[in-house]
Amino acid sequence: MIVYLDGRYVDSTEAKVSVFDHGLLYGDGVFEGIRIYNGNVYRLDDHLERLEQSCKAIMLDVPLSRAAMAQAVCETCRQNKLTSGYIRLVITRGVGDLGLAPWLCEKPTLFIIASKVSLYPQEHYDNGLSIVTVPTRRIAPDALPPTIKSLNYLNNILAKIEARQAGALEAIMLNAQGYVAECTADNVFIIQKGEILTPAASAGALKGITRATIFDIARELGLQIREADLTRHDIWCADECFLTGTGAEVIPVVKLDSRVIGNGKPGPITARVLASFRQRVLTEGTRI
């Protein structure tokens, strides 16, 4: 595998960062997870815009222009002969000392990995996921804004561990007020009486690129969609539920906390959304 690292394309065995890199020492950095489908990097410009905004929010310099970053992403895919898979783009604060001070890091570290991905087995797309609510709460937006896609993922990792301990592949995380924020790695949507509902960023949800696509798809299909405060009760009693994410794409949920959602099978609106999504990923983006 070939990895882009600070302007060079190197073998993965040579792709190394310093133990003094603040991305490793303190989680000081940001990232994007991007998909490529049949040579089409899906919504690359949207991902790069979010990356730039995350960097701006934490006062981290972006080492490349957007055009140069896009070229580096596409070239990394070409170097690996990857036409379908997953791209991880990471910018860290860079090498510094053992203190917190980011201004002592002279320049950011940038690397890009392009490889295969398989988040959930196909059977769960066909039959739906059974998920749980975990005790770990989502970090409050006034502590760490969810709009910053940072390397600080320990909160999500703790929740993922709890999900696994409960025998589930994914889990709902609540915010401090008890409302649904998101899952450990996915945004959550429900359907009630034909209307699609999802938590807002102010509730702790990441402004996902796939999440934004669902809003476009809903308008295209003539479906009502809006952000709303959701409780576990809303999910238990929903007609349908599905999760979205770069890795997960669109995946139905048929059970939460042992309560069957709807009729216990992936619903018709979820199926329509998924079909539209699979068409869009082949055309919306940047050809390598």
DSSP result, 77-108 = HHHTT-SSEEEEEEEE--B--SSS-GGG--S-
Pick the CATH number of 2-115 from 3.90.580.10, 3.30.470.10, 3.30.2130.30, 3.40.50.12780: 3.30.470.10
pLDDT in tens, 158-168: 999 999 999 99
Per-residue confidence at 78, pLDDT binned at 50, 70, 90? very high
Q: What is the mean pLDDT of residues 270-287?
A: 94
pTM value > 0.75: yes
Contact 251, 243 (CB under 8 A): yes
Per-residue confidence at 117, pLDDT binned at 50, 70, 90? confident
State the span(s) of the chain assigned CATH 3.20.10.10: 122-283
DSSP result, 150-165? BS--HHHHHHHHHHHH
Q: Which of 16, 81, 149, 255 is catalytic?
A: 149
State the span(s) of the chain assigned CATH 3.30.470.10: 2-115
Q: Is 193 a catalytic residue?
A: no
CATH topology of domain 122-283: D-amino Acid Aminotransferase; Chain A, domain 2 (3.20.10)
Q: What is the mean pLDDT of residues 104-121?
A: 94
